[in-house]
Amino acid sequence: MNERRERVLRAAAQLFGQLGFDGTSFALVAEKAGEQKTFVQYHFQNKEVLWRAAVSHVWLQRNNALPRYIEDISLQRASDDREKMIRDLCRKILHFTFAHPEWVKIMFQEASAPGPRLDWLVKEFIGTDFIEGRAMIELGQHQGLLPKVDAMDLLHILSGALLYLVSVAPITERVLGLRPDSSDYIDHHVDTLTRILRQHA
Amino acid sequence: MNERRERVLRAAAQLFGQLGFDGTSFALVAEKAGEQKTFVQYHFQNKEVLWRAAVSHVWLQRNNALPRYIEDISLQRASDDREKMIRDLCRKILHFTFAHPEWVKIMFQEASAPGPRLDWLVKEFIGTDFIEGRAMIELGQHQGLLPKVDAMDLLHILSGALLYLVSVAPITERVLGLRPDSSDYIDHHVDTLTRILRQHA
DNA sequence: GCCAACACTATACGATCGTATAGCAAGGGT
DNA sequence: ACCCTTGCTATACGATCGTATAGTGTTGGC
C-alpha cells in the first residue's frame, strides 16, 4: 500500500467524520494530507470513491484493532476472569475509539442524513456489526455476565453508554475540565457501568 | 414572531443538524423554507448569526417541551408512582427527540469538530444541561430510584442509552426492519432500561 | 404631499466547489 | 529508436459558495 495514498485516506476519514460528506472538499483533504488536490483526485476519481475508500480503510483498521473477544470470553472458565474480560473489552473499545473516533463520527454523520451512502455503509460494514454485537451480548447473558433482557436493547444501551462518552467528550472536557480520554476517566466510567450490570449475574 | 422567519429557523436547524455548519448553505435553507436566498440573508446577516438563531430556537422549544420533571418527581410520595415517573420521563425524552432530533444532531455535529461554535453552545445551553442533569440523577439516587454510583457517569450512561437510540435509528431501521421511533419500540426500550436499573433501589 | 424608515429583493463579486482534460516525465517491451 | 503505458501535475470550466450593495415598494410621521 502506497504511503502517500494512505496519508490521504487518513486525512479524508478525519475530515469526513468531522465535517460530513458535503463539508469535506478535495482541497481540504489534500491540504491536511500534505498533497496536491490533483493527486487526491487522480487516485480517487470522485468524492464518492474517496469516501468509500476512506470508510473501508477506517473499518478495516478498526476490525483489526478490536480483536474478536467473543471466543476469548467463551473459553474462559472462572467467573472472575470472565467479568474482568468484559471490563477489558469495554476499556479496549473506549481507548481505541478515543484514539480513532472516525468510525463513530462517520457513522453518525451518515445516519444524520440517511441516503444511499448510509445504505452502502450498512450493507458493507454496520450490518454485520449489529449481528456480531447481538451474538456477543447473548453469549454474555448465557454465561450469566449480563442481565437477561432483550439482547438488541442491551446492545443499544451498552453501545450508547460507551460511544456517547466519546461523542460528547469535547463538551465534557469544557464543562467539567476533565479529559474523558484519559485512562483514569475511562476506567472509572467502565467501572460504573459494570457495577450497574453486575447485580444480575 | 414572524411566521416566515420561523419557517426559515426550522429549516436551518434541520439542515445544520443533518449536514453540519459547512455543509449547510443559505440557498439550501431558503429552498427548504420556501423562501428566497436574500430573504434569509436579510433576516440573518451571516451564517454564524443564522446558526445561533436556529440553535437558540431549537433549545428554546426543547426546554419548553421537556418540562422540569425534577420538582414533579420530588413531590411524588409512593415509590411506585416515582418509578413510573422516571419511566415517563425517559419516554417523553425519546418521543420528543425522535420528533425533534435537531438538538442532538447539532450537538454531535459541533462536538465532532470542536471550535468557537461549540464553546458558545456549551456556555449558552449545554453547560446548564449538564448541571441540571446531574442534579436530577442525584435526586433519583437520593430517593432510591437509581443505583448509587457516580452521578456524572450515570448521567452519561443514561443519556447515551437514550440518545444513541435516536442517532442510530436510521441504521436500526435498515438492519432490523423496525421503526425505532414507534411507541412500541420506545416503550420496550425504556422498559429494558428501567429493568436494568431497578434492582438497585 | 413629502420624506424617512423599514421589509424585502435583484444583481453582482471574488472565492471555492467538483470535475474534466491536456500535458509531462519515467520506464519497459519490441 | 520507437511507442505505449503509468503516475502524477497544471490548467481550466461552470456551478455554487458567502457576502456586499444598490434598488424597490410600502408604511407612518409630520
Same domain, A81 and A102: yes
Q: Rounded to a whole number, what is the distance in Å from the CA of A160 to chain B's nearest CA?
A: 4
Last residue of a domain, one of B43, B65, B87: B65
- Tens digit of each residue's pLDDT (9 = 90 or more) over B44-101: 999 999 999 999 999 999 999 886 666 666 666 666 677 788 899 999 999 999 999 9
Q: Calculate the angstrom distance between C1' of C11 and CA of B36.
A: 14
**Span CA (A51) to C1' (D7), Å:** 22
- The pLDDT value recorded for residue A76 is 66
Q: Are residues B127 and B98 in the same domain?
A: yes
User: Is A200 an 8 Å CB contact of chain B?
Assistant: yes
Distance CA B97, CA A112 (A): 13
pLDDT at residue B201 in the model? 47
- A37 sits within 7 Å of strand C by its CB: yes
**% of chain B surpassing 70 pLDDT:** 91
Of B23, B153, B199, nearest to A188 by CB-CB distance is B153
Q: Tell me: the pLDDT tens digits for A115-141?
A: 999 999 999 999 999 999 999 999 889
B55 and B97 co-located in one domain: no
CA atoms of B102 and B56, how far apart (whole Å): 11
Q: Do B104 and B145 fall within a single domain?
A: yes
Cα Rg of chain B (Å, integer)? 19
A163 and B165 within 8 Å at the Cβ level: the answer is no
User: Which residue, A25, A40, A65, sits at the end of a domain?
Assistant: A65
Q: Which of A108, A162, A174 sits opposite B122 (nearest CB)?
A: A174
Cell 449481528 found at: A131
Check which CATH number belongs to the domain holding B59 and give it.
1.10.10.60
Same domain for A74 and A58: no
Mutate to test the interface with A, among B25, B47, B129, B156 (most CBs of A within 10 A): B156
User: Which of strand D's nucleotides are less than 7 A from any protein C-beta?
Assistant: 7-11, 16-21
Report the percentage of chain A scoring pLDDT > 70. Answer: 91
- Across the range A10-26, mean pLDDT stands at 98
Query: Does one domain contain both A72 and A160?
Result: yes
Q: Which H/E stretch holds residue A44?
A: none
B144: left (phi over 0), alpha (psi -120 to 50) or beta: left
Q: Pick the residue from chain B with its C-alpha nearest to A121.
A: B171
Q: What is the pLDDT along chain B (201 residues), one digit of tens a residue?
A: 588 999 999 999 999 999 999 999 999 999 999 999 999 999 999 999 999 999 999 999 999 988 666 666 666 666 667 778 889 999 999 999 999 999 999 999 999 999 999 999 999 999 999 999 999 999 889 888 899 999 999 999 999 999 999 999 999 999 999 999 999 999 999 999 999 988 654
Evaluate the CA torsion angle A106, B183, A192, A148 in order and state its sign.
negative
Please indicate if any CB of chain A lies within 8 Å of the CB of B94: no
Q: What would you report as the CA-atom Rg of chain A, rounded to the nearest whole angstrom?
A: 19
| pTM of the entire predicted model | 0.93
Cα within 13 Å of Cα(B136), Cβ side: 22
Torsion of CA A164, A145, A81, B156, to 10 degrees: 20
Domain boundary among B25, B47, B65: B65
pLDDT in tens, A84-109: 888 999 999 999 999 999 999 999 99
Range of the domain at B49: 1-65
Number of domains forming the structure of chain A: 2
Question: Could you check: is the Cβ of residue B25 within 7 Å of any atom of nucleic acid strand C?
Answer: no
CA-to-C1' span, A5 to D15 (A) = 29
Task: Give yes or no: residues B146 and B199 share one domain.
Answer: yes
A172 touching chain B per CB within 8 A: yes
Query: Is the domain of A135 the same as that of A72?
Result: yes
